[in-house]
């Protein structure tokens, strides 16, 4: 009876969502698909159309409070610093939890990772703030609003307000630190510190509505970064504080003196077990909020929000500003949360921080459900997780087929997977061999199916295993929103292509439907090409014509009314004698035709020597050509290298330019600076120079930890290699980066080519 009740509850809930969504004036639903992640959790992937005819991608979690699955707030090992969602969930796993789903949480200082508002975990206050927040009780129910939080230092009859676990400045008074912050304060201002120890058996923890008695056990003066006791507290105030009376009171404290810290909050927040602050309230008592303080309130960006319905159910919501999705303004976000039935709602950190993770039933780890604005998930201060206890799985009771929803085109070929869970949605072994059936498609018994060439309406794929069955339906599209053409193995859409005559290039077409990916094969599209430049077959293989001069034409891939066009230039013959069939052929030829790379003429024939190592001056010359630098502007630039006379005349101006622009810094030996122009360039040297030319965001050096030769990376090259790995310019080989290895000319071609792709 309980399961039937839950099904009826969610059926009504989903109907309410759809009705409210349809009533929203600014948004027209295009499609949505819902998947149960637990009996109390439903995940909806929604595509909608704004009144500006721009697409909107929404991810919605609907949660009915219960103890089996409950919300928790989590961060890394300390408040200081940031953590990725997949790293943060490991802390929960160590506590015996399994992730059901997650979203990002608090606004935070990007430099320190410290949240701007309060954070509560396990009933313990970790950092303070009285801005609007969302709190969760032990039974999973939630509260949204201002917690009325105060943290006060009580000494005798005086009561002094404190900030708790925040970065110290000259203007924010007294800060109280615990080991939750970090092992040191890491402040940049000189401060006076008082070391405190809990009296008796009390722990160094603060609880909402509680107090703790402390004893002064030490003082530390004129120190910027002071050690924080493991089971104690530390008071800190800037020596140059604008609150001189507070500084004098601090300095008047005596060894052995007893103090107390009291945490005051509103009554309804005293039993909150987990909480994190957000930004502006979006809804309050069912009414739309219209005044916002966030500087990006009127910008259409990615957003994250949490809301509570009248019946106590909780909505976790994200909307993307990537992958074809426009993003929304704060006023629109408030309207969306109201349309989803919320009576109170809170804006959480958005933009590049917006993230939603989902553990699809049958899998043991989470996946990213949204499309991050930064191209990957950002490390954040904290996250809100829906978790269950991590227990041994029971026998299989449910079957799931993946992909669980989507769009297809005729002739699409798609590999599927079947997964099983026990009754509580914990992943377990399949109870036997899986068999498949399909409508409007052919399917083999490995789960690979091909949509019929004349398919329309829906394709239904069914799977059975033992006594369990499941199915997935895919909509066959007659029209798509967009078509793109890429080179095989790449992701960036092509607008131009330059190839040698007589060459063969494999192209792929992709389609999107209001931003959502569409499953297709190359034969799902109509291919055509200007006859004078060559031919293209039904699978997107372009064969360039043999030409005696440069010829330019257009290649297209179409589906329905949508077409993608690529301007193709065919040049006479293969430029290099030694490149045809080489793994870097496409990169080398493309950059040669772009004027970036050159070869050597021997016996009237041009050679590139792709497997030969590249010297430092050769690399710099290629880089300057790639960047399109006007070398004449640097012909008189001074060089301070002791071996300037060894730089070839054809490379001298390029070296001058690279040095002046800060790309090349030389090598210091015995206090003397050398350019070492004829030395072979190493991978880490090349990566460092390339990173100086690009405006990639800084990446955590932890991305290097997965390589077995991580310790071989020079300290001066760590940040550059981290950027290049993060941007997928380099991927290593057999788990190694080989940072000190020499770079071949073919590898340089690939590096420059991929760098150019990133900048498109």
Q: pLDDT digits over 238-253, tens only?
A: 999 999 999 999 999 9
Residue 193: per-residue pLDDT: 97
Confidence bin at 25 (pLDDT 50/70/90):
very low
For residue 660, give the H/E element and its range: helix 649-660
Instruction: Give yes or no for residue 28 having a pLDDT over 80.
Output: no
Query: Hey, which bits of 93-247 come out as E strands?
Result: 97-104, 119-121, 124-127, 133-136, 142-145, 150-155, 158-164, 175-177, 191-198, 206-207, 211-223, 233-238
Q: Which of 228-237, 250-259, 265-274, 506-515 has the lowest mean pLDDT?
A: 506-515
DSSP code of residue 499 = E
Contact 9, 36 (CB under 8 A): no
Q: Compute the C-alpha angle 224/226/230, nearest 5°.
A: 160
Residue 560: per-residue pLDDT: 95
Q: Which of 183-187, 412-416, 697-701 has the lowest mean pLDDT?
A: 697-701
Quick: pLDDT tens for 438-454: 998 999 989 999 999 99
Instruction: Give yes or no for residue 1 having a pLDDT over 70.
Output: no
Instruction: Give yes or no for residue 621 having a pLDDT over 70.
Output: yes
Region for 609 from its dihedrals, namely left if φ exceeds 0, alpha if ψ lies in -120 to 50, beta otherwise? left
The reply to whether 398-476 and 492-573 are identical in fold is: yes
Query: Nearest Cα to 684, choosing from 654, 712, 661, 643?
Result: 712
Instruction: Give yes or no for residue 16 having a pLDDT over 80.
Output: no
Residue 550: per-residue pLDDT: 87
Q: Annotate 242-280 with DSSP letters as a single string.
A: S-HHHHHHHHH--TT-EEEEEEE--GGGTT--EEEE-SS
Residue 26: per-residue pLDDT: 61
**401 vs 760, residue with greater confidence:** 401
Q: Which of 49-53, 125-129, 704-708, 751-755 has the lowest mean pLDDT?
A: 49-53
Contact 332, 282 (CB under 8 A): no
Residue 48: per-residue pLDDT: 81
Contact 149, 118 (CB under 8 A): yes
Residue in the structure block whose two tokens are 């041009």: 606
Instruction: Give yes or no for residue 527 having a pLDDT over 60.
Output: yes
Q: Annotate 369-427 with DSSP letters as a single string.
A: -S--TTSSPPPBS-EEEEEEE-----S--EEEEES-SEEE-TT-EEE-EEEEE-TTS-E
Token pair for residue 563? Answer: 């077409």
Confidence bin at 574 (pLDDT 50/70/90):
confident
Q: Which of 453-462, 526-535, 647-656, 704-713 has the lowest mean pLDDT?
A: 704-713
Task: Return the top range by mean pLDDT from 6-10, 511-515, 541-545, 605-609.
Answer: 541-545
Contacts 24+ apart (CB under 8 A), 646-649: 646/675, 646/677, 646/678, 647/617, 647/675, 647/677, 648/617, 648/677
Instruction: Give yes or no for residue 759 having a pLDDT over 70.
Output: no
Torsion (CA) 638, 641, 643, 648 in degrees, nearest 10: -50
Instruction: Give yes or no for residue 695 having a pLDDT over 80.
Output: no
Say yes or no: domain 398-476 is CATH 2.30.29: no
Quick: pLDDT tens for 278-316: 999 999 999 999 999 999 999 999 999 999 999 999 999
- List 315's β-bridge partners, or say none: 62, 307
Instruction: Give yes or no for residue 157 having a pLDDT over 90.
Output: no
- How many residues appear in the chain? 760
Query: Nearest Cα to 666, choosing from 647, 648, 693?
Result: 647
Q: Give the SS3 label for residue 206.
A: strand
Average pLDDT over residues 675-688: 92
Residue 760: per-residue pLDDT: 57
**232 vs 760, residue with greater confidence:** 232
Q: Give the SS3 label for residue 90.
A: helix
Residue 10: per-residue pLDDT: 41
Region for 206 from its dihedrals, namely left if φ exceeds 0, alpha if ψ lies in -120 to 50, beta otherwise? beta
DSSP code of residue 322 = S
CATH class of the domain whose range is 492-573:
mainly beta
Residue 312: per-residue pLDDT: 97
Residue 753: per-residue pLDDT: 85
Quick: pLDDT tens for 166-220: 999 999 999 999 999 999 999 999 999 999 999 998 899 999 999 999 999 999 9
Confidence bin at 509 (pLDDT 50/70/90):
very high
Q: Compute the C-alpha angle 692/698/702, nearest 5°.
A: 115
Instruction: Give yes or no for residue 24 having a pLDDT over 60.
Output: no
Residue 573: per-residue pLDDT: 80
Average pLDDT, the chain: 91
**579 vs 706, residue with greater confidence:** 579
Average pLDDT over residues 612-632: 90
Average pLDDT over residues 337-363: 96
HEC string of 4-73 equals HHHHHHHHHHHHHHHHHHHHCCCEEEEEEEEEEEECCEEEEEEEEEECCCCEEEEEEEEECCCCCEEEEE
Residue 4: per-residue pLDDT: 35
Residue 604: per-residue pLDDT: 84
Average pLDDT over residues 590-617: 88
Residue 9: per-residue pLDDT: 41
User: Distance between CA 356 and CA 245 in Å, rounded?
Assistant: 46
What is the pTM (predicted TM-score) of this model? 0.77
**22 vs 609, residue with greater confidence:** 609
Helix axes 683-693, 616-627, angle to 10 degrees: 20
**Residues 6+ away with beta carbon under 8 Å from 415:** 446, 447, 448
* Coarse DSSP helix, strand, coil percentages of the chain, rounded to the nearest 5 percent: 20, 40, 45
**723 vs 758, residue with greater confidence:** 723
User: Distance between CA 703 and CA 725 in Å, rounded?
Assistant: 7
Domains of the chain by residue range: 2-144+272-389, 150-264, 398-476, 492-573, 609-759
Q: Give the SS3 label for residue 545.
A: coil
């Amino acid at each position: 009876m309980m399961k039937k009740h839950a099904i009826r509850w969610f059926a009504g809930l989903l109907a309410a969502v759809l009705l409210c969504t349809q009533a929203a004036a600014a948004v027209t639903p295009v499609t949505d698909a819902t998947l149960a992640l637990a009996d109390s959790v439903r995940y909806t992937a929604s595509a909608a159309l704004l009144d500006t005819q721009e697409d909107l991608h929404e991810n919605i979690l609907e949660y009915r409070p219960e103890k089996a699955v409950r919300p928790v707030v989590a961060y890394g090992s300390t408040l200081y610093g940031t953590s990725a969602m997949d790293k943060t969930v490991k802390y929960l796993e160590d506590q015996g939890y399994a992730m059901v789903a997650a979203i990002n949480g608090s606004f935070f200082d990007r430099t320190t990772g410290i949240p701007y508002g309060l954070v509560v975990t396990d009933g313990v206050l970790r950092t303070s703030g009285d801005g609007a927040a969302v709190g969760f009780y032990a039974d999973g129910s939630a509260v949204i609003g201002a917690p009325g939080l105060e943290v006060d230092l009580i000494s005798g009859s005086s009561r002094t307000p404190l900030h708790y676990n925040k970065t110290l400045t000259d203007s924010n008074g007294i800060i109280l630190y615990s080991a939750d912050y970090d092992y040191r304060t890491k402040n940049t201002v000189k401060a006076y510190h008082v070391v405190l120890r809990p009296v008796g058996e009390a722990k160094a923890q603060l609880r909402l509505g509680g107090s703790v008695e402390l004893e002064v056990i030490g003082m530390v003066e004129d120190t910027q970064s002071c050690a924080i006791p493991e089971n104690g507290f530390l008071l800190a105030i800037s020596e140059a504080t604008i609150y001189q009376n507070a500084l004098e009171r601090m300095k008047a404290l005596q060894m052995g003196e007893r103090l107390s810290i009291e945490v005051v909050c509103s009554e309804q927040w005293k039993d909150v077990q987990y909480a994190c602050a957000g930004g502006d309230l979006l809804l309050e008592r069912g009414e739309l909020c219209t005044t916002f303080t966030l500087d990006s309130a009127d910008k259409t960006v990615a957003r994250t929000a949490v809301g509570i319905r009248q019946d106590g159910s909780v909505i976790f919501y994200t909307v993307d500003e990537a992958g074809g999705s426009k993003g929304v303004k704060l006023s629109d976000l408030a309207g969306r949360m109201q349309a989803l039935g919320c009576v109170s709602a809170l804006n959480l950190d958005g933009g590049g921080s917006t993230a939603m993770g989902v553990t699809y039933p049958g899998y043991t780890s989470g996946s990213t459900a949204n499309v991050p604005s930064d191209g990957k998930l950002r490390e954040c201060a904290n996250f809100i997780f829906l978790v269950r206890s991590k227990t041994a799985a029971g026998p299989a009771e449910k079957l799931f087929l993946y992909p669980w929803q989507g769009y297809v085109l005729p002739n699409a070929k798609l590999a599927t997977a079947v997964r099983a869970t026990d009754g509580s949605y914990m992943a377990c072994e399949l109870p036997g061999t899986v068999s498949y059936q399909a409508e409007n498609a052919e399917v083999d018994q490995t789960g690979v199916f091909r949509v019929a060439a004349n398919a329309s309406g829906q394709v239904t794929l069914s799977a059975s295993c033992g006594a369990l069955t499941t199915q997935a339906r895919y909509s066959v599209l007659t029209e798509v929103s967009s078509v793109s053409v890429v080179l095989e193995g790449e992701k960036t859409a092509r607008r131009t292509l330059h190839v040698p005559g007589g060459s063969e290039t494999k192209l792929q077409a992709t389609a999107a439907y209001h931003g959502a990916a569409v499953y297709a094969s190359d034969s799902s599209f109509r291919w055509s090409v200007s006859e004078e430049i060559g031919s293209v077959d039904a699978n997107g293989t372009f064969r360039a014509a043999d030409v005696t001069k440069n010829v330019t034409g257009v290649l297209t891939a179409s589906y329905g009314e949508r077409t993608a066009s690529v301007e193709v230039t065919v040049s006479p013959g293969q430029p290099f004698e030694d490149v045809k069939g080489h793994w870097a052929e496409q990169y080398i030829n493309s950059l040669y035709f772009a004027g970036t790379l050159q070869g050597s003429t021997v016996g009237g024939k041009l050679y590139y020597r792709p497997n030969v190592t590249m010297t430092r001056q050769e690399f710099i010359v290629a880089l300057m050509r790639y960047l399109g630098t006007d070398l004449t502007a640097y012909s008189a630039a001074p060089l301070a290298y002791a071996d300037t006379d060894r730089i070839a005349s054809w490379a001298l101006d390029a070296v001058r330019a690279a040095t002046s622009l800060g790309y090349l810094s030389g090598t210091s030996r015995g206090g003397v600076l050398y350019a070492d122009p004829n030395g072979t360039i190493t991978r880490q040297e090349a990566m460092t120079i390339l990173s100086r030319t690009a405006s990639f965001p800084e990446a955590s050096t932890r991305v290097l930890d997965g390589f077995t030769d991580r310790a071989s990376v020079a300290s001066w090259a760590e940040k550059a290699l981290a950027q290049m790995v993060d941007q997928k310019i380099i991927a290593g080989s057999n788990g190694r980066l080989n940072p000190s290895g020499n770079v071949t000319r073919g590898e340089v071609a690939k590096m420059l080519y991929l760098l150019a792709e990133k900048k498109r």
